[in-house]
């Protein structure tokens, strides 16, 4: 829909220009005085368009989408699954080794720093997580780059390990982002508190 | 009005001029403000505000209800300057702050208030003011409708023709309930509400077109009662909102309140002015006057009529600008959080912005300007009158929507201000639509039963950023029943959220194994039911029932003409896309609609319109797709489009939405 190749590395500026162009054509503003059906179609199409662009512009969502196209489902909060055998059963991908322990530790540190009111510690934890997030993102990009092309529904056995590694990275990214959201919420509460004081 | 179904313009090609009855294309933009309201319209390609007979553009948003069941309603300057002090209880100011709010909300529980609230029955969702010497109880929606009605009449008088419709602006940070309330007020005032437009977006539109501005801008909008911050990217006629934030109860009124509390303290009076409503109104007005004078003067003498005899107040109280700013500053600093968050959501640093646009009366205060300078590290822009810029932008959007003049290539891409979600077990919120998603947007998620033999789902729709339901605003509750008993976890409930271009939510729920379905246009818990709106609409005509019926009949006939014209034009335009079956079905529906139109039953006409709509469904879909294909031609997108079509997720979404659309339609 957005005229981009099915790949992780993209020309986002071009895709965005295309998104704007298409918005111009299908947006409900164009159909404000049309009949209800035209309005509905326009709304549906724009919803799809917005969803496509939302998926595309964020590297994590983009990677998740590409993986889902290859049959890896990362829909669940805690794990991922890959397409099963002919019986159709989906097999759970195990959480990356040590991830849970690392995340729990980070969270405990954050909770401690918050209860101590140690702002510097909160920020340094956030810094660590941001760095880790950047590295993981780069790893995802590199793994995609090594693949000849992103496989579709029936991935070749050779690309399985790469896909699985990306799935692991994405699960980790999800936890890291959650952590940073929490820090943001904390920052905001802090800012609000200091304004009231 | 377009002359064919699905008029789609090619990029770079001007929109085909609408074929319409003469004198019905006039659309207006209305800034329904906390303190003042304005109406504007596009004349000769430029937006202009429409003043009243005295030449005043601003209508004070103050409504007075004279005593008696059918007492006179006075809106504007007279209400503000004369009646508010004499009849504080019967004269409502800043009603916007009560829109979509319930009796339990902070706004209705303030100590320093001139109003009398009607005792609310257990669980009653709407605030009502006791007015007209206690003879009437009116809702904020009705009060706002009085303001809109005055502006509508002003516009009709000035333009010399009936209006086609209006764009009404709302603070970007208004939640679903506040938006619904605003749209209802428009309906009650007899306006066709073409679109609710976010105020900062309207301001950007006015700037973008007038100043030919391009780049990424922040709009800092501090009005009488609300604060909005929006980050927009303006490029080649596309106005894309990147992020928005704010506080829907922060504005100049809060400055007045802070000053008023200070004055009361100096007078040795209690915070609630001893329950004296007249004094409360007077002191708030005195605070506002002092604040305004101090924009220019260094000190003012505040005299409060009626209490000059209180010890220490003889001849008035002296207030310096420094003192006033010290009182106001803590309130103003509440803007910092939303600004920071909006920049973060947009992924930008303040230094990356091309400019900061000031909107709203409160931004004329020197303190506010210097504060904005501090926050953004640059001199803000105020080339267009901050009081008028929103109404001007709304007029442009109204013109764009009705296919007028040469603004045809403009498109606004706005966002959802607050995340929307569902309550899960344990009072946790599952967000389906995240804040700052571009609208219209949708999301589908599947849930399951947690108990064996559960035959119904209770759905609770909430809005807000917090994890717990208790911290979010409750929008609606509804129930999906009729699911056959089965073990826990087997039923699959698919819930679809659709946010339309007005930012208003519709929720559809469907149990997959049985196909049981329910759909609601989310009526906010703090809002009015459709029946109430309908009743107010009828009341407001103050006519006999026959008049109402004839009005409905006229409306339906006009609508029928429009649909008939569009259908015929579409058939003539694209015979190739018409199958024989479609042709027969559509022809039949057309002649049935013609028949109904000749009669006097408006409901029959409405039904016949719906039938024609249904009969032309497939044909319309083919036309839409062809138009899209043509729009995309030359860009090898066909293949990708097909791919997207195949992708199950979006396909699902489309069918889901289509189904939701049907359900919604048959409800109406």
Residues 6 or more apart whose Cβ sits within 8 Å of residue B131: B65, B89, B90, B92, B137, B138
Encode pLDDT of A65-83 as tens digits: 888 877 776 654 434 444 4
Task: Supply the pLDDT for residue B106.
Answer: 61
| Residue carrying the six token digits 């066909």 | B638
Residues 6 or more apart whose Cβ sits within 8 Å of residue B315: B301, B303, B308
Mean pLDDT (whole number) for B492-521: 80
Task: Supply the pLDDT for residue B404.
Answer: 62
Residue B604 lies in a domain: yes
Task: Supply the pLDDT for residue B242.
Answer: 93
Residue B160 lies in a domain: no
Residue A22 has pLDDT above 60, yes or no: yes
SS3 content of chain B, % helix, strand, coil (to 5): 45, 20, 35
Mean pLDDT (whole number) for B536-543: 52
Is residue B251 within 8 Å of B222, Cβ to Cβ? yes
Residues in chain B: 668
Task: Supply the pLDDT for residue B641.
Answer: 44
Question: What percentage of chain B exceeds 70 in pLDDT?
Answer: 80
Hey, which of A32-36, B150-154, B275-279, B280-284 has the most confident mean pLDDT?
B150-154
Q: For chain B, how many structural domains are there in total?
A: 3
Task: Supply the pLDDT for residue B368.
Answer: 95
Interface test with A, best of B1, B4, B8, B258 (most A CBs within 10 A): B8
* B540 shares a domain with B513: no
Contacts of A2 in chain B (CB under 8 A): 640
Q: How far apart are CA B68 and CA B83, in angstroms?
A: 16
CATH of the domain at B648: 1.20.1270.10
CB atoms within 10 A of CB B425: 7
When pLDDT is cut at 50, 70 and 90, the band that residue B18 belongs to is very low
CB atoms within 10 A of CB B380: 20
When pLDDT is cut at 50, 70 and 90, the band that residue B654 belongs to is very low
- State the nearest Cα–Cα gap between A96 and chain B, in angstroms: 25
Q: Per the residue annotation, which of B90, B184, B199, B240 is the catalytic one?
A: B199
- State the nearest Cα–Cα gap between A40 and chain B, in angstroms: 7
8 Å CB contact of B661 and A44: yes
Residue B430 lies in a domain: yes
* B603 shares a domain with B579: yes
8 Å CB contact of B621 and A47: no
When pLDDT is cut at 50, 70 and 90, the band that residue B375 belongs to is very high
Residue B20 has pLDDT above 50, yes or no: no
Residue B264 lies in a domain: yes
When pLDDT is cut at 50, 70 and 90, the band that residue B544 belongs to is very low
Is residue B416 within 8 Å of B437, Cβ to Cβ? yes
Residue B154 vs residue B448, higher pLDDT? B154
Interface test with A, best of B234, B440, B471 (most A CBs within 10 A): B440
Q: Which of B302, B333, B364 is the last residue of a domain?
A: B333
Q: Which helix (H) or strand (E) holds B64?
A: strand B62-65
CB atoms within 10 A of CB B33: 28
Mean pLDDT (whole number) for A10-28: 83
What one-character-per-residue DSSP string does B444-499 give?
EEEEE-SSTT---EEEEEEESSSSBGGGSEEEEEEEE--PPP--TTT-EEEEEEEE
Contacts of A29 in chain B (CB under 8 A): 195, 397, 400-401, 411-412, 501
8 Å CB contact of A24 and B412: no
Q: Which of B316, B333, B350 is the last residue of a domain?
A: B333
Least confident stretch, B209-218, B348-357, B494-503: B209-218
CATH of the domain at B297: 3.90.640.10
B555 catalytic? Reply is no
B175 catalytic? Reply is no
Residue B546 vs residue A164, higher pLDDT? A164
The CA-based angle A21-A26-A29, given to 5 degrees, is 105
| Residue carrying the six token digits 């009231």 | A196
Residues 6 or more apart whose Cβ sits within 8 Å of residue A3: A14, A15, A18, B635, B636, B637, B640
CA atoms within 13 A on the CB side of B98: 27
B186 touches chain A (CB under 8 A): no
Domain ranges across chain A: 94-196
Residue B91 lies in a domain: no
Q: Kindly indicate whether the domain formed by A94-196 is annotated with CATH number 3.90.70.
A: no
Strand pairing report for B165-170 and B299-302: unpaired
Partnered with residue B301 across adjacent β-strands are B318
Mean pLDDT (whole number) for B511-531: 64
Query: The tokens of B329 are what?
Result: 């500053």
Residue B419 has pLDDT above 80, yes or no: yes
Encode pLDDT of A134-184 as tens digits: 888 888 888 887 776 655 555 555 667 778 788 888 888 888 888 888 887
Coil vs helix vs strand at B170: strand
Contacts of A68 in chain B (CB under 8 A): 649
Mean pLDDT (whole number) for B455-484: 79
Is residue B59 within 8 Å of B52, Cβ to Cβ? yes
Q: Per the residue annotation, which of B90, B96, B233, B285 is the catalytic one?
A: B96
When pLDDT is cut at 50, 70 and 90, the band that residue A113 belongs to is confident
Provide the 8-state DSSP code for B415: B
B523 catalytic? Reply is no
Residue B201 lies in a domain: no
Contacts of A27 in chain B (CB under 8 A): 411-413, 501
Mean pLDDT (whole number) for B246-259: 90
Task: Supply the pLDDT for residue B335.
Answer: 94
| Residue carrying the six token digits 């019967």 | B90
Least confident stretch, A182-191, B257-266, B461-470, B527-536: B527-536
Contacts of B337 in chain A (CB under 8 A): 188, 191-192, 195
The CA-based angle B441-B337-B30, given to 5 degrees, is 55
* B548 shares a domain with B510: no
B406 catalytic? Reply is no
Residue A197 has pLDDT above 50, yes or no: no
8 Å CB contact of B613 and A37: yes
Residue B538 lies in a domain: yes
CA-to-CA dists, residue B587 to A3, A34, B192, angstroms: 39, 20, 30
Query: The tokens of A193 are what?
Result: 């508190």
Residue B221 vs residue B213, higher pLDDT? B221
Mean pLDDT (whole number) for B461-489: 78
CATH of the domain at B467: 2.60.34.10
8 Å CB contact of A48 and B650: yes
- State the nearest Cα–Cα gap between A71 and chain B, in angstroms: 12
* B509 shares a domain with B441: yes
Q: Over chain B, what is the mean pLDDT?
A: 79
Coil vs helix vs strand at B76: coil
Query: The tokens of B368 are what?
Result: 């506010």
8 Å CB contact of A30 and B333: no
Residue A32 vs residue B9, higher pLDDT? A32
A43 touches chain B (CB under 8 A): yes
Hey, which of A94-108, B163-177, B495-509 has the most confident mean pLDDT?
B163-177
* B611 shares a domain with B514: no
Residue A89 has pLDDT above 70, yes or no: no
Whole-structure pTM over 0.80, yes or no?
A: no
* B646 shares a domain with B546: yes
Cβ–Cβ pairs < 8 A, chains A and B: 157
Hey, which of A175-184, B462-471, B472-481, B585-594 has the most confident mean pLDDT?
B585-594
Q: Which of B468, B495, B525 is the last residue of a domain?
A: B525
Is residue B535 within 8 Å of B520, Cβ to Cβ? no
Question: What percentage of chain B exceeds 90 in pLDDT?
Answer: 29
Mean pLDDT (whole number) for A48-65: 87
Encode pLDDT of B556-598 as tens digits: 777 788 788 778 888 887 888 888 888 888 999 999 999 988 8
* Structural domain span for residue B275: 252-333
Hey, which of B32-36, B71-75, B244-248, B278-282 has the most confident mean pLDDT?
B32-36
Residue B15 has pLDDT above 50, yes or no: no
Residue B631 lies in a domain: yes
Mean pLDDT (whole number) for B619-640: 61
Nearest beta carbon to residue A24 from set B11, B402, B501: B11
Mean pLDDT (whole number) for B302-326: 74
When pLDDT is cut at 50, 70 and 90, the band that residue B342 belongs to is very high
Mean pLDDT (whole number) for B46-56: 91
* B569 shares a domain with B507: no
Q: How far apart are CA B311 and CA A170, in angstroms?
A: 71
* B633 shares a domain with B541: yes
Residue A83 vs residue B222, higher pLDDT? B222
Q: A6: nearest CA in chain B?
A: B640
Question: For residue B87, with 0-12 CB atoms within 10 Å meaning exposed, 13-18 middle and 19 or more buried, which class applies?
Answer: buried
Task: Supply the pLDDT for residue A92.
Answer: 57
């Amino acid at each position: 829909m957005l005229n981009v190749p099915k790949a992780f590395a993209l020309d986002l500026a071009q895709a965005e220009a295309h998104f704007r162009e298409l918005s111009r054509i299908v947006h409900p503003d164009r159909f404000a005085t049309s009949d209800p059906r035209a309005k509905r179609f326009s709304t549906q199409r724009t919803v799809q368009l917005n969803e496509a662009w939302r998926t595309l512009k964020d590297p994590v969502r983009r990677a998740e989408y590409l993986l889902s196209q290859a049959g890896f489902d990362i829909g669940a909060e805690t794990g991922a699954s890959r397409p099963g055998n002919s019986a159709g059963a989906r097999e759970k991908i195990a959480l990356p080794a040590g991830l849970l322990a690392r995340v729990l530790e980070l969270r405990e540190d954050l909770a401690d720093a918050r209860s101590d009111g140690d702002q510097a510690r909160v920020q340094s934890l956030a810094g660590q997580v941001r760095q880790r997030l950047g590295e993981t993102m780069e790893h995802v990009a590199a793994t995609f780059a090594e693949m000849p092309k992103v496989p579709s529904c029936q991935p070749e056995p050779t690309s399985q390990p790469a896909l699985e590694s990306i799935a692991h990275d994405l699960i980790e990214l999800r936890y890291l982002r959650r952590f940073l959201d929490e820090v943001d919420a904390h920052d905001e509460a802090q800012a609000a508190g200091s304004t009231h004081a | 009005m377009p002359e064919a179904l699905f008029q789609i313009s090619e990029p770079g090609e001007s929109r085909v001029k609408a074929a319409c009855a003469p004198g019905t294309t006039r659309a207006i933009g209305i800034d329904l403000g906390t303190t003042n309201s304005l109406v504007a319209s596009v004349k000769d390609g430029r937006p202009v505000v429409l003043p009243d007979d005295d030449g005043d553009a601003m209508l004070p948003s103050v409504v007075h209800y004279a005593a008696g069941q059918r007492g006179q309603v006075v809106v504007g300057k007279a209400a503000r300057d004369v009646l508010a002090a004499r009849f504080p209880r019967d004269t409502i100011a800043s009603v916007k702050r009560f829109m979509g709010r319930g009796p339990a909300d902070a706004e209705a529980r303030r100590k320093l208030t001139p109003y009398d609230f009607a005792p609310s029955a257990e669980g009653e969702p709407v605030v009502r003011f006791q007015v007209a010497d206690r003879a009437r109880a009116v809702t904020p929606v009705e009060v706002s409708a009085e303001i809109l009605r005055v502006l509508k009449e002003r516009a009709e008088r000035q333009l010399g023709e009936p209006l086609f419709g209006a764009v009404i602006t709302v603070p970007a940070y208004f939640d679903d309930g506040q938006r619904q309330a605003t749209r209802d007020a428009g309906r009650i005032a007899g306006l066709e509400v073409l679109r609710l437009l976010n105020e900062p977006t309207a301001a950007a539109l006015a700037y973008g077109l007038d100043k030919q501005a391009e780049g990424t801008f922040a709009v800092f909008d501090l009005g009488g009662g609300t604060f909005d911050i929006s980050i927009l990217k303006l490029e080649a006629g596309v106005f894309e909102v990147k992020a928005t934030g704010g506080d829907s109860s922060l504005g100049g009124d809060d400055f007045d309140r802070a000053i008023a509390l200070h004055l009361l303290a100096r007078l040795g009076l209690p915070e609630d002015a001893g329950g004296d409503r007249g004094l409360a109104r007077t002191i708030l007005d005195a605070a506002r006057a002092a604040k305004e004078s101090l924009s220019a003067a260094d000190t003012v003498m505040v005299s409060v009529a009626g209490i000059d005899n209180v010890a220490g107040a003889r001849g008035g109280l002296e207030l310096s600008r420094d003192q006033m700013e010290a009182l106001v500053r803590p309130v103003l600093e509440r803007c910092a959080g939303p600004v920071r968050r909006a920049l973060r959501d947009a992924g930008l640093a303040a230094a990356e912005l091309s400019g900061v646009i000031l909107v709203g009366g409160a931004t004329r205060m020197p303190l506010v300007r210097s504060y904005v300078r501090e926050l953004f590290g640059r001199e803000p822009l105020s080339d267009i009158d901050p009081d008028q810029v929103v109404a001007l932008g709304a007029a442009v959007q109204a013109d764009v929507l009705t296919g007028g003049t040469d603004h045809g290539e403009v498109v606004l891409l706005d966002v959802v201000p607050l995340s929307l979600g569902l309550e899960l077990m344990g009072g946790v919120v599952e967000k389906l639509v995240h804040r700052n998603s571009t609208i219209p947007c949708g999301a589908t998620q599947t849930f399951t039963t947690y108990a064996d033999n559960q035959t119904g789902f209770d759905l609770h729709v909430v809005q807000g950023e917090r994890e717990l339901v208790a911290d979010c605003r409750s929008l609606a509750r509804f129930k999906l029943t009729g699911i056959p008993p089965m073990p826990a976890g087997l039923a699959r409930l698919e819930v679809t959220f659709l946010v339309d271009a007005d930012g208003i939510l519709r929720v559809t729920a469907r149990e997959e194994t049985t196909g049981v379905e329910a759909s609601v246009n989310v009526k906010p818990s703090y809002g009015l039911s459709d029946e109430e709106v309908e009743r107010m609409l009828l009341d407001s005509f103050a006519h006999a029932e026959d008049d109402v019926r004839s009005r409905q009949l006229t409306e339906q006939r006009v609508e029928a003409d429009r649909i008939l014209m569009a259908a015929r034009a579409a058939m003539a335009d694209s015979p190739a896309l018409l199958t024989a079956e479609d042709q027969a079905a559509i022809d039949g529906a057309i002649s049935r609609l013609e028949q109904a139109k000749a009669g006097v039953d408006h409901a029959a006409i409405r039904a016949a319109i719906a039938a024609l709509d249904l009969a032309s469904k497939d044909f319309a879909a083919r036309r839409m797709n062809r138009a899209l294909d043509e729009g995309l031609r030359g860009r090898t997108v066909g293949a990708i489009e097909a791919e997207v079509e195949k992708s199950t997720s979006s396909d699902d979404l489309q069918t889901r939405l289509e189904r939701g659309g049907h359900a919604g339609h048959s409800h109406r």
